[in-house]
Amino acid sequence: MVTADALAFGSLLLVGGRIGVMFSPKRVFITGLIGFVIASAIGGTAVSFLMLAAARALQDAFGAILAPAALGISSILALPRLGPRVLIASGMLLGTGGMTYLTQLTATSGYASGVLPAMLVMGLGFGMIFAPAINTATGGVRRQDSGVSTRRWRGCSRITA
């Protein structure tokens, strides 16, 4: 089940970023959030394994739409105010804290009390690292210096910005 979640989320992540570029990041964020909440409600009321698996797949699909939009909104709002150093340092601390929390788990730890908080903190921290790092790395490239790889990095920057 975990492999199916990672496959669905990871394979749709770039599509979610492209949708965020095509439409407003705010609109895509709200759509992804509403879809994720509805899919979570379906999963919470599932009466069979098949229904639960379908709800989890929907959660992954809407999460893949939600994640790039959330990064884009956060980088638009926070990056100009705080600067990349503050965001990257804070993200590194949050990511390290989440990983440290994961090392404290035991075999009897529950998902909601153990794994989920650590994954949320790690996701927030690593997201705070990704957006400013990409924007900073590609911000000063002149047009005549841009090649195929630079255009790809700019595309990543547009996805997160």
Domain ranges of the chain: 1-71, 83-161
Asked if residue 72 lies in contact with residue 159, where contact means CB atoms within 8 angstroms, the answer is: yes
Report the alpha-carbon distance of residue 131 to residue 80 in Å, rounded: 12
Q: What is the pLDDT of residue 142?
A: 67
Q: Is the pLDDT of residue 46 over 80?
A: yes
Higher pLDDT, 39 or 20: 39
Report the alpha-carbon distance of residue 26 to residue 160 in Å, rounded: 12
Q: Which of 2-6, 25-29, 120-124, 131-135 has the highest mean pLDDT?
A: 25-29
- pLDDT band for 147, please (50, 70, 90 cuts): low
| Among the listed residues 72, 83, 67, 71, the one whose alpha carbon sits nearest the alpha carbon of residue 31 | 67
Q: What is the pLDDT of residue 47?
A: 92
Q: What is the pLDDT of residue 115?
A: 79
Report the alpha-carbon distance of residue 41 to residue 56 in Å, rounded: 10
Burial class (CB in 10 A: 0-12, 13-18, 19+), 128: buried
For the chain, percent of residues with pLDDT exceeding 70: 81
Instruction: Report the predicted TM-score, pTM, of the whole model to 2 decimal places.
Output: 0.58
Tell me the residue length of the chain: 161
Q: What is the pLDDT of residue 118?
A: 82
Q: Is the pLDDT of residue 57 over 70?
A: yes
Report the alpha-carbon distance of residue 113 to residue 122 in Å, rounded: 15
Q: What is the pLDDT of residue 34?
A: 93
Tens of pLDDT along 67-125?
888 777 766 777 778 878 888 888 889 889 888 888 888 888 777 777 778 888 887 78
